[in-house]
């Protein structure tokens, strides 16, 4: 497999796992709307597991480049990194929303 094919494969892996994480986070928000806090937290744990896989794939490329491996600039890899960072932010906000709504529910 060429470096370009390898980078494309890793990029798609990052996008795939990041997208799975976003889907889980969106489902967690749906559960939150129904006041199902435990299920929302379970979904967020699944989302975090997906984002870890995406982040590990990105880190592998970065470490390889730091060790001297050369990759041509790739729009797809840039997109994958952007997707990962965006969804990581979404997960953080979703987790904060779950905590906030659970706190409000417990104060009733």
Rg over alpha carbons for the chain, rounded to the nearest Å, is: 17
Q: Sign of dihedral through CA atoms 31, 36, 37, 43?
A: negative
Let me know how long the chain is. 108
Provide the residue ranges of all domains of the chain, joining segments of one domain with +.
3-102
Whether the Cβ atoms of residue 51 and residue 90 lie closer than 8 Å to each other: no
Annotated binding site for Mg(2+): 82
Section 76-94 average pLDDT: 98
Task: Look up the pTM and report it.
Answer: 0.93
> Does the domain at residues 3-102 carry the CATH identifier 2.40.30.10?
no
Catalytic: 70? no
Catalytic residue among 17, 35, 55, 79: 79
Position 17 scores a pLDDT of 98
On average, the pLDDT of the chain sits at 96
43-80 per-position pLDDT tens digit: 999 999 999 999 999 999 999 999 999 999 999 999 99
């Amino acid at each position: 497999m060429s470096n370009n094919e390898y980078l494309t494969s890793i990029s798609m892996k990052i996008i795939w796992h990041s997208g799975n994480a976003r889907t889980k986070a969106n489902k967690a928000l749906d559960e939150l709307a129904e006041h199902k806090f435990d299920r929302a937290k379970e979904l967020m744990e699944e989302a975090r597991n997906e984002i870890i896989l995406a982040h590990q794939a990105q880190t592998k490329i970065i470490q390889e480049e730091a060790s001297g491996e050369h990759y041509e600039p790739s729009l797809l890899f840039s997109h994958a990194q952007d997707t990962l960072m965006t969804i990581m932010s979404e997960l953080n906000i979703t987790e904060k929303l779950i905590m906030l709504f659970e706190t409000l529910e417990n104060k009733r």
